[in-house]
Amino acid sequence: MKLYNKSELMPLLESFGFNFSKSLGQNFLIDKNILDKIINNSNINKNTNVLEIGPGAGTLTYELCKCAKKVVSVEIDNALIPILEHNLSKFSNFTLINNDIMKIDLKKLIEDNFGSEKFIVAANLPYYITTPIIMNIFEGSFNVESMILMIQKEVADRIYADPGTKDYGALTVGVGFYASPEIICQAPPHCFTPQPKISSVVIKLNVYENSPYHVNNKEMFFKTVKSVFSQRRKTLVNSLSGSPFINCDKRDIEKALSNMGLDIKIRGEKLDIEQLAALSNYLFKN
Ligand code: SAM
């Protein structure tokens, strides 16, 4: 089955009376080269468990099922269920779940399907849930090895940004705290049907077993990060002392900055993840 061939995919979708939904971010992959890059870079083998988000017609799912031990795909659109059942019928290692990935109990889903075994996440993500789903998976502390994801280029730029640049922000730090990101390839609009207005990128997030950034208190670290980037035009001292998320005395922040050898007029967006971690450790001892 060559679902990446538009001439095979479209008649099949039509035979099921399927109509694409814009609001569900339905842009199906029709580029074999990109598909191969996703599979080849995901290091899948017969021992790998895969959680796929948004299988669509099953183009990526089909290739995942050929290589992996087990593939569990979560699809929200009822109209795609009979199509997926038809397209993936020959695979006994495939489980389809008709649900919303943002509402499902992720912990239970993972325990029920993978037990305590490691798994990877593979997805051509619907754009409207890209950031929350990535962060939900990280924050769940699951046994996830890596995530190979098709995302908007603009989000990839924010994940991969350097401190002090306009793209650097809470997402860069949030992802970088948990994983080392790797750009796999670009995917221009013509790689999908229907064509989206924007370009996409395949990115791999290699999840750390233990984050290289030591923080005394993860919750306070992330609140510090949120405070810094929600008021990024202010100096670090002003954004933290005026933050509604944390309670910090101006003098303690200035003391922490001078202990770290940083100018007290510095803006928070100049600090890399290590410096943000050190700062939150100064401010929140436990
Ligand atoms: N994986 C397919 C491919 O590459 O051709 C389809 C990718 S398409 C960009 C996104 C898919 O995610 C669609 O099938 C859409 O119905 C599904 N989807 C959208 N929102 C979802 C949600 N909240 N939970 C699960 N699936 C969702």
Going from the Cα of 53 to the center of ligand 1, the distance in angstroms, rounded, reads 6
Residue 231 pLDDT exceeds 90: no
**Domains 6-207 and 218-283 belong to one CATH topology:** no
For ligand 1, say whether the CB of 26 is within 6 Å of any of its atoms.
yes
For ligand 1, say whether the CB of 156 is within 6 Å of any of its atoms.
no
Q: How far is CA 28 from the centre of its chain?
A: 18
pTM equals: 0.95
Q: What is the mean pLDDT of residues 137-143?
A: 94
Q: Is 6-207 assigned to CATH 3.40.50.150?
A: yes
Going from the Cα of 174 to the center of ligand 1, the distance in angstroms, rounded, reads 24
For ligand 1, say whether the CB of 130 is within 6 Å of any of its atoms.
no
For ligand 1, say whether the CB of 134 is within 6 Å of any of its atoms.
no
Q: If pLDDT is split at 50, 70 and 90, which confidence band does 232 have?
A: confident
Domain ranges of the chain: 6-207, 218-283
Using one digit for the tens of pLDDT, what is the confidence trace for 78-97? 999 999 999 999 999 999 99
For ligand 1, say whether the CB of 75 is within 6 Å of any of its atoms.
yes
Q: What is the CATH number of domain 218-283?
A: 1.10.8.100
Q: If pLDDT is split at 50, 70 and 90, which confidence band does 30 have?
A: very high
Give the whole-angstrom CA distance, residue 80 versus residue 150: 20
**Cα separation values, 233 from 17, 36, 154, 267, Å:** 51, 43, 21, 7
**Spatial CA neighbour of 126 closest among 163, 74, 78, 175:** 74
Using one digit for the tens of pLDDT, what is the confidence trace for 176-207? 999 999 999 999 999 999 999 999 999 999 99
46 three-state secondary structure? coil
Residues 6+ apart with CB under 8 A from 271: 163, 228, 236, 262, 279
Q: What is the mean pLDDT of residues 127-138?
A: 93
What pLDDT sits at residue 286?
Answer: 66
Residue with CA at minimum distance from ligand 1 atom 6: 56
